[in-house]
């Protein structure tokens, strides 16, 4: 996919919800235990992209290239897994035949033993959330994504082929549950109508993606730069108190975590670790670049190579004032 094709693909994605978008919507109401191994995507960021308020920055070409190379390798492993008589081909972005806001972009369609279905290739570093090969024990976001694809392409099942750390290749097959698939798409369409169609932002979430999108959507109004800060509303004051309480709870939890980790270091002692629990190994020496010294000793060369990027908005929580009037 060249640059022009990618831009066209991104523009088309704004018109509806894809498999990963819908997975994020379904994940928002899931318990923490059900999210193990899943990739959380910000609903606020999805909304800001679909409404045109946020433009995703271009991905690193080198990262995309590595992904493409690894994907081809996974395809080869998958073809060997199926054996003779299988055929794989790309389908590209495809819209649901009766739901105009639902689309999918599968990695490949498959024809094998007279049956047409699809497969998705995954390259992952960690195995959390993935069960033994041949089972249906996969992360929730992946399952939702595949169920969306099965409804779009009317496929009886879908294969997921993850490769972990280059030497652990697995294949999982998810059978179609039409009732469940339709329920998922109903939820997705309701979300689109509630937030995107009405241009009403969903509640902010805890992800870094959300923080980044908020900074892009809500830019500083130049007319307010020199104005005094406004008085907080009752709701904003309540939010501030909750932040202070959460910060204190986090501080206490961090202190307890550090204490317990130091106790574990004491248990490990001079060894490298404890099997199945933790390792405590020395880190490799790291070279640091003294940017300040270099800029002072070689100012012209420093100016030639330094680049500036736009600053981000920073949220600073003010310390509570003491109301001691005695």
Q: Provide the number of structural domains found in the chain.
A: 1
pLDDT of residue 184: 97
Tens of pLDDT, residue by residue over 152-197, are 999 999 999 999 987 899 999 999 999 999 999 999 999 999 999 9
Residue 142 lies in a domain: yes
Rg (CA), the chain: 25
Residue 123 CB partners (closer than 8 Å, separation 6+): 67, 70, 71, 74, 162, 163
What are 20-63's pLDDT values in tens digits? Answer: 999 999 988 777 666 777 777 899 999 999 998 887 665 555 55
The answer to whether position 314 is within a domain reads no
What pLDDT sits at residue 34?
Answer: 67
Nearest to 174, CA basis, from 151, 150, 197, 191: 150
Contact 195, 21 (CB under 8 A): no
For residue 100, is it within any domain? yes
What pLDDT does residue 39 have?
78
Residue 161 lies in a domain: yes
64: number of Cβ within 10 Å: 13
In a domain, 212, yes or no: no
Asked if 140 and 27 touch (Cβ cutoff 8 Å), the reply is yes
Where residue 20 sits, what CATH number does that domain have?
3.90.320.10
With H, G, I as helix, E, B as strand and everything else as coil, classify residue 110: strand
Low-confidence ranges of the chain (pLDDT < 50): 325-326
Q: For residue 152, is it within any domain?
A: yes
Which pLDDT score, from 0 to 100, does residue 14 have? 86
Per-residue pLDDT at 62: 59
144, part of any domain: yes
Determine how many CB atoms are found less than 10 A away from the CB of residue 56.
14
Task: Report the predicted TM-score, pTM, of the whole model to 2 decimal places.
Answer: 0.80
Res 69: pLDDT:
81
Count CA atoms closer than 13 A to 53's CA, side-chain side.
Answer: 19
Phi, psi for 175 (deg, rounded to 5): -80, 145
Q: Examine residue 110 and state whether it is found in any structural domain, yes or no.
A: yes
Domain that holds residue 191: 3-197
Q: Report d(CA 175, CA 146) in Å as an integer.
A: 10
């Amino acid at each position: 996919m060249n640059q022009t094709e990618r831009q066209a693909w991104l523009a088309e994605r704004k018109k509806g919800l894809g498999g990963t978008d819908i997975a994020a919507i379904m994940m928002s109401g899931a318990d923490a235990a059900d999210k193990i191994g899943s990739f959380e995507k910000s609903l606020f960021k999805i909304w800001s992209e679909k409404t045109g308020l946020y433009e995703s920055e271009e991905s690193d070409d080198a990262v995309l290239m590595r992904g493409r190379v690894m994907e081809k390798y996974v395809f080869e492993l998958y073809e060997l897994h199926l054996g003779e008589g299988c055929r794989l081909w790309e389908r590209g972005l495809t819209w649901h035949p009766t739901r105009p806001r639902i689309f999918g972009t599968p990695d490949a369609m498959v024809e094998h033993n007279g049956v047409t279905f699809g497969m998705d290739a995954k390259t992952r570093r960690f195995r959390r959330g993935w069960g033994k090969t041949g089972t249906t024990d996969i992360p929730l976001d992946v399952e939702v994504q595949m169920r969306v694809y099965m409804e779009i392409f009317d496929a009886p099942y879908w294969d997921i082929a993850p490769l972990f750390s280059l030497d652990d290749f697995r294949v999982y097959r998810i059978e179609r549950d039409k009732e469940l698939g339709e329920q998922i798409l109903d939820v997705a369409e309701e979300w689109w109508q509630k937030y995107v169609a009405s241009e009403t932002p969903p509640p902010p979430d805890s992800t870094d993606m959300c923080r980044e999108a908020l900074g892009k959507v809500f830019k500083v109004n130049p007319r307010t730069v020199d104005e005094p800060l406004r008085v907080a509303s009752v709701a904003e004051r309540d939010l501030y108190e909750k932040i202070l309480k959460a910060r204190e709870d986090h501080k206490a939890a961090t202190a307890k975590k550090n204490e317990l980790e130091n106790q574990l270091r004491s248990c490990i002692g001079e060894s490298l670790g404890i099997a199945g629990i933790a390792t405590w190994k020395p880190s490799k020496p790291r070279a640091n670049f003294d940017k300040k010294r270099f800029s002072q000793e070689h100012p012209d060369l420093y100016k030639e190579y330094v680049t500036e990027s736009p600053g981000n908005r920073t949220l600073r929580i003010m310390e509570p004032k003491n109301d001691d009037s005695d």
